[in-house]
Amino acid sequence: MIELENVAYSYGYAGGELLTEISLKLAPGSFHFLTGPSGAGKTTLLKLLYGALVPTAGHLRLWGQDIRAMSRDDIAILRRKVGVVHQDCRFLDHLPVAENVALPLTVSHQGGPDQAQNLSDLLGWVGLTARADALPPELSGGERQRAALARAVIMSPEIVLADEPTGNIDWEMSQRLLHLLVELNRMGKTIMIATHDLQLIRAAKSQVQARVLRISNRRVQLAGADL
């Protein structure tokens, strides 16, 4: 599905590579946490995984295709197979929640009656039916994260990547969001969550078999048993 082989990435300015010798395979249906200190490269690694960045060295294969051999359009289309949730959610603030959630359908010209039902079900699943017509700035932190998750999964992606999804919400909301992600994993989706919230990781491990990866010294390592 997604495979990294000796991948390195550098932003080009002084300081050298941010990530190096990353070899990783995300198998279908697996659940991963990515942890590490701020600035370690968690977000950069996630960006590599959804094709927003191209490795400066090594091989990154998305569904068998090397990203360097792909055109920008190919990457855009492939990105529809990857749902992404950011800490800051990234909405179009002038569009209501329902339209924001449906954006992936809109840009891929897949809107229609079936999808309208799908959207309605999805908003119900994340508990935002009543907030469908609200604008993103009117939502609470937890509601924004759930809306972002709904948008991430509306195309039924094979992988969901979440970058610090609980960074701006309270513990109760974090639990609720985690529950939704675990539910998705049980449906067969591959999940990777970048977080430094150890409490969240422990809570997840009690519900699902999760692999915890730590970025340390520019490399990805399997975290110890304390997690």
Partner 1 sequence: MRALHAALAFLIGDPQADRMVPPAGFTVTLTVFTSAAMAFLAVFALALSLASGRLAERWGDDLAKSATIRISAPADQIEDQTRAALRVLETTPGVAEARALSDEDQRVLLEPWFGPDLPVDQLPIPRLIEVIAEGDGYDATGLRLRLQAEVPGAVLDDHAAWRRPLVEAAGRLRALGWLAILLIGGATGAMITLAANAALAANAQVIAVMRLVGARDNYIAGAFVRRFTLRAAAGALGGTVLGVLTLVILPRGGGDDETGVLTGLGLSGLQWGWTLVIPPLAAAVAFLATRAAARRSLQRLS
| Residue matched to tokens 């675990």 | 182
22 with 40: CB under 8 angstroms? Answer: no
SS3 content of the chain, % helix, strand, coil (to 5): 35, 25, 40
- List 12, 38, 69, 72, residue binding partner 1 (CB under 8 A): 72
1 binds partner 1 (CB under 8 A): no
Q: Quick one: 52 or 132, whose CB is closer to partner 1?
A: 52
111 binds partner 1 (CB under 8 A): yes
Q: What are 205's two structure tokens?
A: 């491990």
Q: Which stretch binds partner 1 (CB under 8 A): 2-10, 14-22, 69-77, 113-121?
A: 69-77
Count of C-beta atoms within a 10 Å radius of residue 217? 9
Of residues 32 and 151, the one with the C-beta less far from partner 1: 151
CA quadruple 113, 115, 121, 126: dihedral sign: negative
Q: Map tokens 């039924």 to a residue.
A: 156
Q: What's the number of CA atoms in the CB half-sphere (13 Å) around residue 99?
A: 9
CA atoms within 13 A on the CB side of 23: 3
Q: Is the dihedral of CA 168, 190, 67, 56 positive or negative?
A: positive
**x/- binding map, residues 152-191, to partner 1, per CB under 8 A?**
---x------------------------------------
Q: Is 42 in the site for partner 1 (CB under 8 A)?
A: no
In whole angstroms, what is the distance from residue 33 CA to residue 137 CA?
29
80 near partner 1, rule: CB under 8 A: yes
# of chain residues touching partner 1 (CB under 8 A):
23
One character per residue 85-104, x = contact with partner 1 (rule: CB under 8 A): -x---xxx-xx---x---xx
The residue (of 73 and 226) whose beta carbon lies closer to partner 1 is 73
Residues in the site for partner 1, rule: CB under 8 A?
52, 72-73, 76-77, 79-80, 84, 86, 90-92, 94-95, 99, 103-104, 106-108, 111, 151, 155
